[in-house]
């Protein structure tokens, strides 16, 4: 078979089953739809159009709440745009942060233009080069099972690029109001009183 064999909806649903109470930051475009479709909760923060921000947003949450696991679920386009953030993650080394890239080798949401990963850029190798201690390039079911084991109690920070087929996912849109999403997430993480205190 040529091209990635894993289906993104199956990958996301297996990941979400293993998620437990991890906070979830989704990169723009399809990863937000995936999370909204399979595990929509107040502990999800959807970035909507903020391209290149997912890893840094996740890093901030992980540093602020070292007692919670934080997962970033994003796309190859978003990861490529924010690639320098991997070096900052490596330097800060939060032991509660996992970054999972659904690498469909395309800018899915905007019409399936190929990204650099289509031409061979290896995001896991870039993460390792940045200094992230645990990295994986997942291509099949066994690799996905290995990743799920690593997410459940393995060493972090962790970076995984999961190669998925470039089909168009069903657009299950999360709420669009940024203030609502932020307040909902803050309340879920901090509790209703803390969440409204000025900072
Ligand atoms: C700065 C910036 N440039 C371009 C866009 C337009 N845009 C929205 S989604 C997207 C593609 C995202 O691709 P990827 O992260 O790989 O997610 P996929 O949909 O493929 O899962 C682009 C280019 C944007 N939102 N912001
Ligand atoms: Mg993509």
pLDDT at 30 over 60: yes
Q: What does the pLDDT look like over 5-26, one tens digit per residue?
A: 999 999 999 999 999 999 999 9
Of 30, 83, 112, best ligand 1 pocket probe by most atoms within 8 Å of the beta carbon: 30
Nearest CA to ligand 1 atom 17: 75
Would 61 be classed as within a structural domain?
A: yes
- Does any domain span residue 198? no
Closest-CA residue, ligand 1 atom 6, reads: 110
Task: Tell me the per-residue pLDDT of 92-143, one tens digit each, with 9 for 90 and over.
Answer: 999 999 999 999 999 999 999 999 999 999 999 999 999 999 999 999 999 9
Which position has the higher pLDDT, 3 or 35?
35
Tokens encoding 195: 């969440």
Number of domains comprising the chain: 1
- Look up the domain containing 71 and give its range: 8-190
In a domain, 199, yes or no: no
- Whether residue 183 contacts residue 25, with contact meaning beta carbons closer than 8 Å, is answered with no
Domain for residue 154, yes or no?
yes
pTM: 0.96
Residue 195 in any domain: the answer is no
Distance, in Å, from the CA atom of 188 to the CA atom of 53, rounded to the nearest integer, reads 21
* CATH code: domain of residue 38: 3.40.50.970
In a domain, residue 40? The reply is yes
Q: Read off the DSSP letter of residue 168.
A: P
Could you tell me if residue 1 is inside a domain?
no
- The answer for residues whose C-beta is within 8 angstroms of residue 74's C-beta and 6 or more apart is 25, 26, 27, 31, 54, 55, 99, 100, 101, 102
Contact 51 CB / ligand 1 (< 6 Å): yes
197 belongs to a structural domain: no
Q: What is the mean pLDDT of residues 34-50?
A: 96
Task: State residue 126's pLDDT score.
Answer: 98
């Amino acid at each position: 078979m040529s091209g990635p064999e894993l289906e993104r909806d199956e990958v996301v649903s297996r990941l979400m089953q293993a998620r437990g109470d991890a906070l979830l930051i989704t990169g723009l475009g399809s990863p937000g739809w995936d999370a909204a479709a399979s595990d929509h909760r107040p502990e999800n923060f959807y970035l909507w159009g903020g391209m290149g921000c997912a890893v840094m947003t996740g890093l901030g949450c992980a540093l602020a709440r070292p007692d919670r696991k934080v997962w970033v679920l994003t796309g190859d386009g978003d990861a490529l745009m924010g690639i320098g953030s991997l070096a900052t993650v490596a330097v800060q080394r939060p032991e509660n942060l996992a970054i999972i890239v659904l690498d469909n080798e395309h800018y899915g949401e905007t019409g399936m233009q190929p990204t650099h990963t289509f031409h061979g850029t290896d995001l896991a190798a870039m993460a390792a080069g940045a200094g992230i201690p645990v990295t994986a390039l997942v291509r099949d079911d066994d690799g996905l099972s290995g990743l799920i084991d690593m997410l459940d109690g393995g060493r972090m920070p962790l970076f995984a690029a999961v190669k998925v087929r470039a089909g168009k996912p069903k657009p299950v849109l999360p709420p669009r109001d940024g203030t609502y999403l932020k307040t909902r997430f803050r309340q879920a993480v901090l509790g209703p009183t803390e969440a409204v205190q000025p900072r």
